[in-house]
Amino acid sequence: MMQIRATMPPLAIAAALALASCAAPPTAPSAPSAPPAEQAATAPATDVDLNAEYAARAAAGDRVYTLDPAASRVQIYAFRGGRAARLGHNHVLSAPRFVGYVDLPGANAGGNAAAARFDLEFRLEDLAIDDPADRAALGPAFASKLSPEAIQGTREHMLGDDNLQADRFPTVRIRSLQVTGEAPKYAAQVEIRMHGQARTQWVPLTVEGLPERVSVRGAMVLRQSDFGAKPYSVVGGLLAMQDEVVIEFALAGAPR
């Protein structure tokens, strides 16, 4: 890791950090840090066809809802860190394209969301990063205007070999394991598959509109290092991205 000598002028330090925050990643990637052994749970390779799976569930009599990306919102917030955090930027990512379904088992499931299961899957390469309209809607912490070159640098950092390795692990999948609660407030235990790892956690949900349609709102916090990804850091950690990211979603769908 490059170190700055104490004799380096402060203005030069600031310039180096500002350039590092938007530069392309190095050509020789470092291996991502592995999670602790007690947390390691490598996700088996899967080629699940969600369209076929939920079509079969609908044919078996379940009430299946297809989530509509155009009527939904999935946003991911990543935050600047390090001792020189003020020279970096917060980032917002969105998923304008995804595949998602909600299934209420049995013909008589009605509005019983506690009997539901759901899946959501998107490709990392489809993520929109730092869309100006998204940033403008988020207030002062996201108010800085980023050039196309800076946005491309951020994409290469986040999705490249030093972080999420999108070429090797192209998809993120979130699926429910169980749902508890009563309308409109529920808690769902979900499995998250990302970066070749699988993790489970509980997520609070607000579910409305059943049975004519479905609306699901919620949020979760993920730590990149829990999935073996290495948050971006330069100049000995003076400028870095925080490990924790926030995911907010508002999903809408209609019966198949």
What is the pairing mode between strands 214-223 and 197-208?
antiparallel
Question: Which amino acid is residue 97, in one-letter code?
Answer: R
SS3 call for 99: strand
For position 111, what pLDDT does the model report? 59
| Structure tokens, 214 | 């479905």
CA dist 71 and 184 (Å) reads: 20
The pLDDT assigned to 189 comes to 98
Output the pLDDT for position 107.
Answer: 55
Distance CA 164, CA 187 (A): 28
The pLDDT score that the predictor gives to residue 80 is 95
Global pTM?
Answer: 0.80
194-195-201-207 Cα dihedral, nearest 10 degrees: -20
Q: Which residue(s) pair with 203 in the sheet?
A: 188
Note whether 82 and 233 are within 8 A (CB). Answer: yes
Domains of the chain: 62-255 (2.40.128.110)
pLDDT along the chain (256 residues), means of 10: 35 36 40 40 58 94 96 97 92 97 75 84 97 95 94 91 92 96 95 97 96 96 94 85 96 96
